[in-house]
Copies of this chain bind each other. A is one copy, B any other.
């Protein structure tokens, strides 16, 4: 588990719709972020619309803090990033959501309190607020259709942050129980040989010359399935059903 002080605060500035605050809270909690700060929410705070849209998330994060100014909201922070949809004429580092997340994790690990700023729905962050940040974050999206709503923008940042903490597992077949372990090669070869013998006696191999290649292709194909013990037993059952011939040692 990571230390709570290492989790970036999400700071929503001049949000217009409680629904968007609620959706943002839900997205935060989905991704393990639990500190929300609001600067001048238009409909005040608390806001029943935010509560409803958060589907319980507002009750599970830390108490929301409300501020009059952005400067006050980030007063305790050491490293602040400002999300922005458009390139600005500012000499600041510009991060993607992914590189920003890596930087947030790196800073937090050295004891820095971090935060991410999000501007109001329509206009985004104003230049003064963006200027307060150490860097800008622009999510690379389809340039012809890049507008995200607030909850989606929070989700993508929160998601990227959470993925920094997870070691990406390789895509291997799940191994849940001993039942799903791949079968031993011995049993696999036994199955191959039974199938091949049945195919032989059913005149599947048109010529002796083709037979070795056909057998190789067949084995390659079945090997790729990485069959379990149970699946090999099922496959024996199929051969028995289709041919009417039991496996020699079949129980």
Complex contacts, A214 vs chain B, CB 8 Å: 234
- Beta-carbon contacts under 8 Å, A195-221 to B: 195, 198-199, 202-204, 214, 217-218, 221
Q: Which one of A8-16, A38-46, A90-98 is at the B interface?
A: A90-98
Selected from B95, B156, B171, B242, the residue in CB contact (under 8 A) with A171 is B95
Taking a contact as CB atoms closer than 8 A, the residue among B155, B171, B204, B235 that contacts A93 in the complex is B171
Of residues 135 through 180 on chain A, the ones whose CB sits less than 8 Å from some CB of chain B are 135, 139-142, 144-148, 151-152, 155-156, 159, 162-163, 166-174, 176, 180
- In the complex, the answer to whether A174 meets B92 with C-beta atoms within 8 Å is yes
Cβ-based interface call for A191 (8 A): no
Contact among B26, B169, B224, B237 with A225 in the assembled complex (CB-CB below 8 Å): B224
Contact of A155 (CB < 8 Å), options: B31, B32, B152, B224: B152
> Is A99 close to B, CB under 8 A?
yes
Total copies of the chain:
2
Q: Count of chain A residues with Cβ under 8 Å from any Cβ of B? A: 78
Residue pair B141, A30 in contact (C-beta under 8 Å) = yes
Determine if A86 is an interface residue (Cβ-Cβ < 8 Å): no
- Cα distance A204–B88 when bound, in Å? 38
A82 within 8 A of B: no
Within 36-81 of A, Cβ neighbours of B (below 8 Å) are at 55-57, 60
A109 within 8 A of B: no
